[in-house]
Amino acid sequence: MNKQEFLIQLREEFTKQEIPDSKSEKFIKKFEKLIDEAEEKDQEEKIKDLGTPQEIAIKTKEMLEEKKKKKLPKKQTETEGDQDTSSEIEEQQEENSVVSVRGKYIFIGGLVLTSPVWIAVFAALAIIFFAIYTAMVLIDAVIGVVLTAAIIVGGIASVTAIIYGIIGLLPGSVASYIGMYELGLGLMILGILIVSGILLHFFVVKVTPLVFRSTTRLIKFTYRQFVRLFKFIRKECDKI
């Protein structure tokens, strides 16, 4: 939930709780100021820490009702209620600021102290991913060279055998059975070459890109998990 959505829902919840516009606008401005003090990328986390609009509205309603129960003149009660509310928000703002700074230093200190561990983890992951990419490139190269050489040699052998087989089957040939054998051998080699070409095409066009895409997705997934872990640790440092 972004800031605008939060403020709109907060205003709606204040209306549902029948909180006067004069008071609800003051609260909304205070919460908007609290959110703006956080960095843009951390505003959603800040909003989560503040609670849901419904919870805030209910808590505000209860607080205002408690003020009304006090046996004080109406005007004095409203004035003190506004002052107490403003004071509470300012104290919360100051406390959040102190906690944020303290948590930041704890987080940075923890990163420095544990740097040998996470640097080693990052290095190991980088080596693994690099090894996968390198292995796929080498396998592609080897298979491509071997199959290409086999296709060239086999093609020559197949054409030669077919030609000799046809010559051996011509009328007047002494050993026609040899020609039939040569022709059958040439056709068999040709079939093997066709199958090899299909396998080479399938591996290069289908298997290799699939492995590269899967590895890339794995890298992105790992990166997102590390980002979430660091954000979680950063948030927990603020609670210390």
Lowest mean pLDDT among 95-99, 228-232, 233-237: 95-99
Closest CA to 234 of 99, 121, 95, 125: 99
Lowest mean pLDDT among 12-26, 99-113, 124-138, 219-233: 99-113
Q: Which two tokens stand for residue 27?
A: 């609260």
Q: Say what the pLDDT of residue 83 is.
A: 52
Amino acid present at 61: K
- Kindly state the average pLDDT of the residues 7-29: 83
Q: Say what the pLDDT of residue 80 is.
A: 47
CA distance 20 to 216: 54
Find the DSSP H helices in 114-207.
Answer: 115-169, 176-202
DSSP state of 18: T
Q: Is the pLDDT of residue 169 over 80?
A: no
Q: Say what the pLDDT of residue 175 is.
A: 58
Report the predicted TM-score, pTM, of the whole model to 2 decimal places: 0.38
Q: Say what the pLDDT of residue 61 is.
A: 84
Q: Say what the pLDDT of residue 142 is.
A: 81
Q: Say what the pLDDT of residue 93 is.
A: 53
Q: Is the pLDDT of residue 174 over 60?
A: no
Greater confidence, 58 or 107? 58
Lowest mean pLDDT among 64-78, 134-148, 199-213: 64-78
Task: Give the DSSP H/E element, type plus range, for residue 42.
Answer: none
* pLDDT tens per residue across span 44-63: 777 777 778 888 888 888 88
Query: Which of 34-48, 119-133, 176-190, 193-207 has the largest mean confidence?
Result: 119-133
Q: What's the gap between Cα 132 and its chain centre? A: 20
Give CA separation, 105 vs 97, 116, 143, 220, 238, in Å: 13, 19, 54, 28, 10
Buried/exposed 67-77: b ≥16 CB within 10 Å, e otherwise: beeeeeeeeeb
Please answer whether residues 9 and 26 qualify as being in contact, where contact means their C-beta atoms are separated by less than 8 angstroms: no
Average pLDDT, the chain: 76
